[in-house]
Amino acid sequence: MYFMQKSNVLFRNYESFGYITDNRNFEYRQTNNNQDYIGDKILSESGAVFMSVLEKKPLTIKVLASKINRQFTDIDLKTIKSDAKEFYLLLEKEGFVVSGETEQDCNDKDIKFSYRISSHDSEKKEFLQPIKHPEKTTQDFLEEHFKGKPQLTNLHLEIISKCNERCIHCYIPHDNKISYMKPDLFHDILNQCVKMNVLNLTLSGGEPLLHKNFCDYLRKCREYDFSVNVLSNLTLLNDEIIKEMKLNPLLSVQVSLYSMNSDIHDRITQMKGSFEKTKNAILTLVQNEIPMQLSCPIMKQNKLSYGEVIKWAEKHNIPVGDDYGIIAEYNHTNENLKCRLSIEEIKKVVEDKVANDAKYLEQILSEAEKKKDNKANDSVCSVCRSTICISHNGDVYPCEGWQDYTVGNIKETSLHEIWENSERNQFLRSLRNQDFPQCIKCPDKEYCNMCMVRNANENPTGDPLVVK
């Protein structure tokens, strides 16, 4: 009999226990919703040993038992084989493992990402155990297990600040797009992430595909079994990159498409021909079954045409996120906010969405209802509680767009030390909703998200506590 770890499952081995989770909090979800989400599970110390020998390729129970026996030398192989089989079958019922009489059986049960729904997919699902969808996020699960102690699960790496586009709304000042992360620093960061049991890495820029070592970086992320998100305009996509992306079942891509009108898109990127390159690259990822999400920020330039992007994405079963919130440049000039919608323009966008999408208003009301449970002493957001960012030069900062608020530098101090003891980290973690009285008293607070980076970037002195 063969067993294998599912391709969309992450496993981390702590000193006294093991942790397994699916990739639901890190990948981009499909519009056809044909993906099962499993949840999280804590394993005992011995269970972690059993899980650690599984691979994302089928292995016989005999081979697995032999590997386990190397760590439990005082237990006979027959007993280990029986216990391992029972353990793996239990994990299969919970959705983390697949089994089969042959290698092909295992591979057939390990349903991969696809933009298409076929009768074959439905047939494959018939022999799988029903999976209960999790109610908690991975971070909620870990915080509960570690009794509120912040756990670094997501690391955002700006591997290059250079970019081949000059998007008019970008929060990175164009004068700062000049450098890249060297391989030694990248590999050192990944080694530290392994020790800290980080689950997800986001590779961004600038434009990450400009980095000459981009494929090598992707390969190393795959070898370390990280979930990976790539933020790219895809204009530089090539066969080598596609080949490497396809090898990592935990990889997904986010790409911005601003309009189906090439002139509008190119005016926003300030790069002639960028629309055709990005659109064609998106279709190439679809053809190669590489998960992605489209991002379509709504601004003055595309407020009348963003809807066509949504329709086009839905046609290809690509999830799309559209948002009219533009983050100011982190140099506090607010120059890029010239393209931000006015209140009246936002009102028109919301009205159009409500009129064209029956679920939109329902979703807004549902999210607002949940926010009514927010308490004054609740944490503001996940900044420095589950996520952190590192720039190309080693500066560590709280979140994307807040590059000028450094909490340390990884060339001088370890990531673990910065995460645990940085004074600025501790300050941000200490902030609570009650520290923003203007927001607490606002009658519309359930319909808004307080964001410290937005506050900081729009404030001349970079104060995250000042709400405009």
Q: In this structure, are strands 97-100 and 2-5 parallel, antiparallel, or unpaired?
A: antiparallel
Does this model's pTM top 0.75? My answer is: yes
Q: What is the per-residue pLDDT across 396-429, written as a single tens digit (0 to 9) for each?
A: 999 999 999 999 999 999 999 999 999 999 999 9
- Fold classification of 154-341+374-434 (topology level): TIM Barrel (3.20.20)
Residues of the chain with pLDDT under 50: 31-34, 118-133
The per-residue pLDDT for 371 is 86
* Chain position carrying tokens 């003891």: 421
DSSP 221-288: HHHTT-EEEEE---TT--HHHHHHHHH-TTEEEEEE---SSHHHHHHHHT-TTHHHHHHHHHHHHHHT
Predicted pLDDT at 119: 39
Residue percentage of the chain with pLDDT more than 90: 72
Element (DSSP H or E) covering residue 389: strand 387-390
- What confidence score (pLDDT) does residue 127 get? 41
In the chain, what are the domain boundaries?
2-112, 154-341+374-434
